[in-house]
Structure 1
Amino acid sequence: MKLFLRGLKVADPNSEFNEQTVNIRIVDGKYEALGPAIEPSKSDQIIDLSECVAAPGFFDMNCFIGDPGLETKEEIETAAQAAVAGGYTGILNLSQKKSSIETKSKVDYILQKASRTMVDIIPAGAISKHHEGKDLTEMYDMQKAGALAFSDADQAIQDDGFMSRALQYAKGIQAKLLVYPENASIAGKSQIHESAHSILMGMKGIPAIAEELQIARDLCLAQYHDAPIHIQTISSAGSVALIKKAKKDGIKVTCEVAAHQLNYTEEINAGFDSHYKVKPPFREKADQKALIQGLKDGVIDIIVSQHRPHEIEFKKLEFEQAAYGIIGLQTTLHYALKAGLTSSLITEKLALNPRIILGLAIPKIQVEEFANIVCYHPTQTWEYSTARNYSKSANSPLLGQTLTGLVKTVVHNTKIYSYEQ
């Protein structure tokens, strides 16, 4: 395997060529040469990537894959295809209530099946059995088998004592807990953001305080146990403020925002289109501004896809009956660029920080390193057609639209993805 990538601007702070335009030669899965003046050999496959950005391959920390158990939504193979088309070379596969990852055998199954794809797909085991927030799973056994973190995903842990014990146990085995912030007694069964807008729509809303109270509790417990904690998919200005203060106070907290939260606000729900039914809900413009600023200030550590595949029969329903969530592996880059994020910030939030949080090796665009690179054109458009959707599900509000930010080439060791016109 001999590959020559021409004309790339490097966006990798760990590379000596950061912010320089270079050519890259990859031989047998390793960077052999980088620089503005290097030339290809006769046997090289040459790919012209002029005006493209080169970054370490992205890593997603919030993705649902239905395999095993819910393969009609997404399989490991289809998730990998969608991921690499979106620039990802790694995914953290979260446990789901109806397909809970609670055993060593399930961790083994996911890792073995994923090894045949181009993407590192690593399972996150459940914190509680059946996501019920009552009994701890066998976290230690799953960790030894290869589970990288633990999460009940979109099921927030309500019992304070259980959450305290979970943090204490996870600290003892040096594991990271990823927790969803929602106080269920306040959120109830509401489905959109609580505001004057929800009143006009005639629907009960989920107040931001339901998220913020849960975050405040989890921060207090993390501080008490001196344990690390990762807060998933924050959505409000109040949440940003809480986490900003916690970081200043020395609490070991990291957090994330879903890419679609950077582009939509509550007004999008006025049409009762279930494609925009997500959890947490889209909130107000002030919240969105705080999220984007939180990314720029370093309060919010990462951007996630929050990939939630569903069959059409789960979304083509009245708004109140439809399932939550959208697919996002192929559209996260588009959302990040539309929000005005720079290439250096995209590298930090999509490629570097997720791996730092999870304790993974950081890919470097550097000679002798193994190739792990995404090459994307930040202004080129592409049609997100049904044929271009590689997920097994199609629940995206962007399907059929022209998107900005084209992933043209991904190289992961000796495996190559190239966008075909």
Structure 2
Amino acid sequence: MNLLIKSATIIDPSSPFHNKKQDILIENGKISKISKLLDNPNNYKEITFENLHVSQGWFDTSVSFGEPGFEERETIENGLKTAAKSGFTAVAVNPNTYPIADNKSAVEFIKNQGTNSATSLYPIGSLTKKAKSEDLAELFDMQNSGAIAFSDYNKPIDNANLLKIALQYAQNFDALVLSFPQDNSIAQNGLVNEHINSTKLGLKGIPALAEELQIARDLFLLEYTGGKLHIPTISTAKSVKLIKEAKKNGLNVTCSVAAHNLVLTDDELVNFDSNTKVLPPLRTSKDVKALIKGVNNGVIDIITSDHNPIDIEHKKVEYSTAKFGTIGLESLFGALNKVLPLETLITCLTTNPKNRFGVKSSPINENEEACLTLFNPDFEYEFSINNIYSTSKNSIFLGKRLKGKAYGIISNNKII
């Protein structure tokens, strides 16, 4: 693939060209030259867009595709196309398939479905067998087959001893363990954040305490065992405080936050729109402010879309019976670009997640592989059904004003 990108503002703190407007010459999938003005003697295809910005390729650490088992929600092929059009050059795919991806062959199947795609696919293996929180799955075998981390997606590890053993065992092969932050004995069958709105609307609440208790427990376990822990999708002010303290004490812990928890509050529940039913739930404005502060000061390392397609039969139903989850790949950048500094947002989508999950980073520099996201940070629009590429349309951001849009990606010697 040979291309010439014209007049692109480079956003990459690890690049000597950071914040500069440059032409970028790509030959055979590699960046061969970066300069203020480049000629095109070989008549390569030229890429020019309004207000073009370029960063390292974005990586989303929590994406669900239905395949295998729930193809009506999303196939891997269409999911990867959606990711590419939304600006993502890599995604980590959760194991919440049917059957659960808890063994070597399941991981290999998912990985193989992503071969030859512009967006690289990295499977996450289930931490426990059938994600039942009873017995550890075949972690070592799955890692050898391509799993980059281990998680029972959106299901807490109820058994503290099991998580202790997982953290100890995973150190033998330097694996990353994820633990979903919710104590089910507190959350029980709650639907939304327990607060004024849940009381007003008569919806059973999930207290912030359910998340914070589990995080406190997991951090105590990590302190005891050592190892590497990642806490996905935190949502409360106290969770940020707990993780900040743990990092200060030298624990090897990182965390992520879902895009919608950084932008929306439980005031969204007023219309009983089941697209607002997410896990962890939307919290209060105080929590949102604390999460944004946590991203800005580096306590929160990673931002994810937590993309979770749900078919209409399980989403467009009564609020209490609807499944948790929203799609988010298409809306992530436009939603967050309104509330975060651009450089901070790009770092949380590129170097931070790649370093933590062991995915190769490609700085924007000469002789580096061309793994790029192309975007316009100033494009404003209303997010509608026409902006959705996913098979399922369950977006929490429908009807919202967004700022910033991906043009596409250059990755794996392909352009989307």
TM-score interval (norm. to shorter): over 0.9
Partner of 1:47: 47
Aligned length: 416
Contact map agreement 2:190 2:204 (CA 8 A) in 1: yes
Unaligned runs of 5+ in 1: none
Runs of 4+ in 1 over 4 A off after TM superposition: 382-385
Distance 1:97 1:375, change over 3 A: closer
- Residue 111 of structure 2 is aligned to residue 111 of structure 1: yes
Give the SS at the match of 1:122: strand
- Paired residues of 1:7 and 1:50 also in contact (CA < 8 A): no
3-state SS of paired residue (2:52):
strand
2:189 aligned with 1:167 = no
Answering whether residue 322 of structure 2 is matched by residue 322 of structure 1, we say yes
- Quick check: 1:6–1:50 contact (8 Å CA) kept in 2? no
Alignment check: 8 A CA contact 1:29 1:371 kept: yes
- Determine if contact 2:6/2:46 at 8 Å carries over to the other structure: yes
Residue 120 of structure 1: aligned partner: 120
Q: Could you report, residue by residue, the CA deviation over 1:32-63 in whole angstroms, capped at 9, with x for unpaired residues?
A: 11111222234111111352221101001011
Match of 1:348 in 2: 347
Per-residue deviation at 1:408?
Answer: 1.4
Residues in 2 aligned to 1:148 and 1:263: alpha-carbon distance in whole angstroms = 28
SS in 2 for 1:314: helix
Q: CA deviation at 1:387?
A: 4.4
- Counterpart of 1:378, as a letter, is P
Q: Deviations over 1:103-127 (max 9, x none)?
A: 2111111111101311111111001
Residue 407 of structure 1 corresponds to: 406
Q: Deviations over 1:156-194 (max 9, x none)?
A: 111111111111111222110111100000001011111
Paired residues of 2:69 and 2:97 also in contact (CA < 8 A): no
In 1, Cα distance between the equivalents of 2:168 and 2:328?
33
Could you say which residue in structure 1 is the equivalent of 2:363?
Answer: 364
Is this contact kept in 2: 1:10–1:53, CA < 8 A?
yes
- State the distance in 2 between where 1:400 and 1:249 align: 43
Partner of 1:256: 256
Moved more, 266-275 or 380-389: 380-389
Give the match's secondary structure for 1:319.
Answer: coil
Identity %: 38
Residues of 2 paired with 1:360 and 1:296: CA distance?
23
SS at match of 1:125: coil
1:143-154 → structure 2 map (5 Å cutoff) = 143-154=143-154
1:1-31 C-alpha deviation (Å, 9 max, x unpaired): 3211111111112211011111111111111
Aligned to 1:187: 187
CA distance in 1, matches of 2:338, 2:406: 15
CA-CA distance at 1:388 after TM superposition: 3.9
Q: 2:68, 2:97 within 8 Å by CA — same for their partners in 1?
A: no
After superposition, the C-alpha distances for 1:341-370 in whole angstroms (9 at most, x for unaligned) are 122112210111111001221111111111
Which deviates more, 280-289 or 33-42?
Answer: 33-42
Contact 1:17 1:35 in 2 (8 A): no
Q: Measure the CA separation in 2 of the matches of 1:166 and 1:100.
A: 18
Q: What letter corresponds to residue 45 of structure 1 in structure 2? A: K
Give the Cα–Cα distance (whole angstroms) in 1 for the partners of residues 407 and 114 of structure 2. Answer: 23
TM superposition shift of 1:382:
4.8
Equivalent residue, structure 2, for 1:133: 133
Q: Helix, strand or coil: the match of 1:390?
A: coil
Cα deviation code 1:322-345 (max 9, x no counterpart): 111100111110121122x12211
Distance, in Å, in 2 between the alignment partners of 1:236 and 1:52 is 35
Matches within 5 A, 1:179-258: 179-258=179-258
CA RMSD of aligned residues (A): 1.4
Q: Which moved more, 1:8-17 or 1:303-312?
A: 8-17
AA of the residue aligned to 1:332: L
* TM-score (ref. length: structure 2): 0.97
The residue that corresponds to 2:415 in the other structure is: 416
1:81-110 superposed Cα distances (whole Å, 9 cap, x missing partner): 110111101010111164411121111111
Please say if residues 119 and 412 of structure 2, whose CA atoms lie closer than 8 Å, have aligned partners that are also in contact.
no
**Matched residues in 2 for 1:413 and 1:25: separation?**
16
Deviation at 1:400, TM superposition (A): 5.9
Change (3 A) 1:27 1:383: farther
The aligned residue for residue 378 of structure 1 is 377
Q: TM-score, normalised by structure 1?
A: 0.96
Structure 2 contact 66–97 (Cα < 8 Å) conserved: no
Q: How far 1:321 sits from its partner (Å)?
A: 0.7
